[in-house]
Amino acid sequence: MVNFSELILRKFRNIAGSRYEEIMKAYQEFFLTEEELQIPTINSILFAIDRFSGKIPDEVFDVVSAYPGAKVEVVYLIDSVLCGLIRETLGEDEARKFREKEEALGREILKKIESTLSELGMNFTMAIIFDDKVEFIENETESRDLLVISRHFGSESVKTHKVSPVVFRIVQGIKKPVIVY
């Protein structure tokens, strides 16, 4: 495999040394390093969904199925911060009703995903988690190789932004590969 620095040297060999350095500095963010060119090994996938995720496109399942040996953990997240706000403002009964409705919605969504992953022959687990969404994902992606998340995760998207602020924060904060659908 040709090293990119060798390729650049070959391309710009007739250009003075200082000019070459200027070109490298100006365009270094566009050149991939050898490490970035390596396809990462994906053994574990965190598939995070919530009430805002919406219908999961078939293409997402196609991409996930491209890693046949990977263990997929599908997690439906219920926001504990929101539930706490409901408890403080409307009372314990309303918080309990909110949580029950969210769990029912989560079971329904997980059932659909379960059937699709079963058809693909994937190794997967499913869970409904009651936690702070951002903290959970940031902590759990440390031990996973890939994160799959909807661009609407965490809040409804608005016309001015195609990606929710929650997803934007998550993508900026983690170092692992992410599929945003």
Assess whether 80 and 128 both reside in one domain: yes
Share of residues in the chain with pLDDT > 90 (%)? 51
Assess whether 27 and 110 both reside in one domain: no
Q: Are 51 and 102 in contact (CB under 8 A)?
A: yes
Which pLDDT band, with edges at 50, 70 and 90, does 74 fall under?
A: very high
Which pLDDT band, with edges at 50, 70 and 90, does 8 fall under?
A: low
106 alpha-carbon distance from chain centroid: 18
Structural domain total, the chain: 2
Assess whether 67 and 153 both reside in one domain: yes
Residue 169 pLDDT greater than 60, yes or no: yes
Assess whether 127 and 147 both reside in one domain: yes
- Which secondary structure element, helix H or strand E, spans residue 71, and what is its range? strand 71-79
Burial class (CB in 10 A: 0-12, 13-18, 19+), 153: buried
Assess whether 167 and 80 both reside in one domain: yes
pLDDT of residue 158: 64
- Whichever domain contains 151, its CATH number is 3.40.50.620
If you average pLDDT over every residue of the chain, what do you get?
85
Of the two residues 17 and 44, the one the predictor is more confident about is 44
DSSP 141: G
Cα dihedral across residues 124, 128, 134, 138: positive or negative: negative
Assess whether 129 and 92 both reside in one domain: yes
User: The domain containing residue 98 runs over which residues?
Assistant: 39-180
pLDDT of residue 69: 87
Side chain identity, residue 87: R
- Cα–Cα distance measured from residue 129 to residue 103, given in angstroms and rounded to the nearest whole number: 9
